[in-house]
Amino acid sequence: MAELTSQEVVDLTRTLNYGTWRFQKGWMPMHVVDAEGCEIIDGDGKRYLDFSSQLMCSNLGHKNAAVIAAIAEQAQQLAYAMPGYATTARAELSQLLLEVLPQGLNKFFFTTSGTEANEAAFKIARMYTGKNKIIARYRSYHGSTSGSIAATGDPRRWAMEPAGKLPGVIFAPEAFCYRCPLGHAAANCGNACANYIEHMIVNESDVAAVIVEPIVGTNGVIVPPEGYMPRLREICTKHNVLLIADEVMSGWGRTGKWFAMEHWGVAPDILVTAKGITSAYVPLGLCATNEKIAAYFDDHYFSHGHTYEAHPITLKPAVATIKEMQRLGLVERSAELGLYLGEKLRELQTRHVCVGEVRGKGLFWALDLVKNRATKEPFATYADKVSGKALLVDQIAGKCVADGMTVQSWVSHFVIAPPLIVSKEQIDF
C-alpha cells in the first residue's frame, strides 16, 4: 500500500469517521504524526505546545521511555489473559494503587475507560445498597454510554432523552460559587448546595449514591468551596448513601495532589479514574471501592465484566506511569508550577476584559469568558455551539494553533491543563 500523504490522511479521516463532538461539515482535523514531551508534531513537522495534555490525559508527556518499555515488555511476555486469571501486572498495579489512592480504597475493578468504570460504580452502588437512585450534579460529565451519559449533568445527555434516559438518575445543583445556581452571593452560604443534596436524599428515598467530579473538569474546572466536600461526606454517611468520586480527569496529580479529594481530606466510598492512570499511553479505567464495600463483594457475586477487563497491556504501563510520577515528583511539581501558571493566567485576566474568572488548582485551570464582567453572562451558550455559530473560544483556540499551541475550548471557557512535566518557559510561552 502506498504511503498516504498528509492531505490524504486528513481527507480519509474526515470522510470516513465521526469526529467526537466535531461531526460537522467543516471538521478539519490536524494530522498528528509525532509527539515529544509536551509537544505534538503535525504532518508538516510543525510543533505545538499541548496545553491541555490532549484530553487532559497525557500527564507524563510523550515518549516516556519507561512507559514505552513497559508496553513492549508486556506485549512480548503476555499480551492477553482473560480477567478470571491472576497476572503479575495486575498484582503489581494493585500494590502500587494501595500506596497512592486515598486510604481505605482497596478493591479494584479495571476497565478500558472512565465511562465503563462509572458504569461499574453505579452497579456496585446499587447492588451494595439495595437502592436505586443516583444523584448527579448539573455541569458534570461522567461518560458516553447510556448509564454514564444519563448521569451527566450537561446538555450532551439531552440527545438520550426522553426515550433513552436511564431511569433513576436525578440532578443536584452544582457547587459553582462564580455563578451560584441557588443565587448566593459568596462562599458564606453555609454549604447550601450540599445541604440541598440532603434535602433531595430525604425527599426521594431510595438513593444509592451521589456522584461528583471533585473538581469539575470539562464543564469549567469548578473548584467547590472549602466546606462542601466534608459536608457532603457527612450527609452521605448519615443517610447510608455512597459517595462516588469521579476522578477520571482530576486524579493523578492534575490538581496538585494524587487525587483531588485529598484537598479536603475526604475519603469517597468509590473512586473512579482513568486518563492519567497510564498517562493515556494505553486505555485503562479503574473503579476502586472501600473496605466495607469490598467485604460485601467477598460474599456476593459481582455479575459484571468485560473481555478486556484487567488487560495486561493496559496494566503494566500503569505500573510504569505511577513509578515515573513518583520518581519525577510530578504531584509536587503540579502543585508548585500550578501556582505559577495561576499567576500568569491572572495576568491575562488583567489584560483582557472578556476573561470573567480564572479558577483552578495544580496544573488544572479554566479561563471563563464573559460578555460582561458584572453580569457574568457567558460569551456563548451550548445552543450557540450546536447551531454552528462561530464561537470566540474556538477562534482564539485557532489563533493559538497558528502560533504553535493547542488548548481545549468548550463553549465559553478554556480548560488549561498542560502535561505535569511542563516547564516554566513553556508556561511563559
Query: Where along the sequence are the contacts to ligand PLP (CB under 6 A)?
Result: 55, 113-115, 118, 141-143, 213, 217-218, 246, 248-249, 274, 285
| Beta carbon of residue 202, minimum distance to ligand PLP (angstroms, whole number) | 27
Burial class (CB in 10 A: 0-12, 13-18, 19+), 44: exposed
* Residue 279 or 426 having the CB closest to ligand PLP: 279
What span, in angstroms and rounded, lies between the C-alpha atoms of 425 and 417? 15
| Beta carbon of residue 101, minimum distance to ligand PLP (angstroms, whole number) | 17
* Residue 105 or 249 having the CB closest to ligand PLP: 249
Q: Which of 321, 241, 255 is nearest to 71 (CA)?
A: 321
Residues 6+ apart with CB under 8 A from 411: 378, 380, 381, 382, 384, 385, 391, 393
| Beta carbon of residue 296, minimum distance to ligand PLP (angstroms, whole number) | 24
| Beta carbon of residue 21, minimum distance to ligand PLP (angstroms, whole number) | 11
* Residue 52 or 115 having the CB closest to ligand PLP: 115
Q: Are 129 and 208 in contact (CB under 8 A)?
A: yes
| Beta carbon of residue 44, minimum distance to ligand PLP (angstroms, whole number) | 29
* Residue 114 or 418 having the CB closest to ligand PLP: 114
* Residue 242 or 355 having the CB closest to ligand PLP: 242
Cell of residue 197, nine digits:
443534596
Q: Are 408 and 53 in contact (CB under 8 A)?
A: no
| Beta carbon of residue 157, minimum distance to ligand PLP (angstroms, whole number) | 13
Residues 6+ apart with CB under 8 A from 66: 320, 323, 324
CB-based closest residue to ligand PLP: 114
* Residue 192 or 274 having the CB closest to ligand PLP: 274
Residues 6+ apart with CB under 8 A from 324: 60, 64, 66, 67, 279, 330
Q: Which of 276, 256, 258, 319 is nearest to 114 (CA)?
A: 276
Phi then psi dihedrals of residue 210, to 5 deg: -115, 125
